[in-house]
Amino acid sequence: MAIGSTRETGVSTPRAPTSATLTARAPGTVEVPENTILTTLDSVVNWCRKYSLWPMPFATACCGIELMAVGASRFDIARFGAEVMRFSPRQCDLMIVAGRVAMKMMPVLQRIWLQMPEPKWCISMGACASTGGVFDTYAVVQGIDRFIPVDVYIPGCPPRPEQILRAIMEMQAKIQRGGSLAGTGLPEQAEREKMLVEKQTMPPGFALAGERGDEDRFGYRLPGGPGELGAGESM
pLDDT for the residue 40: 80
CA angle 147–70–97, rounded 5-degree value: 10
Confidence (pTM)? 0.65
Q: How far apart are CA 116 and CA 181, in angstroms?
A: 17
Please count the helices (runs of H) and the strands (runs of E) in the chain: 8, 6
All structural domains of the chain: 52-177 (3.40.50.12280)
Q: Specify the amino acid at residue 126.
A: G
Nearest to 157 by CA among 132, 190, 139, 178: 132
pLDDT for the residue 52: 85
pLDDT for the residue 153: 92
Q: What does the buried/exposed string (b/e) look like for 40-57 if buried means 16 or more CB atoms within 10 Å of the residue's CB?
A: eeeeeebeebbeebbbbb
pLDDT for the residue 214: 43
Low-confidence ranges of the chain (pLDDT < 70): 1-26, 28, 179-193, 195-196, 199-200, 203-235
pLDDT for the residue 116: 87
pLDDT for the residue 24: 60
pLDDT in tens, 128-158: 998 888 888 888 988 888 888 888 899 988 8
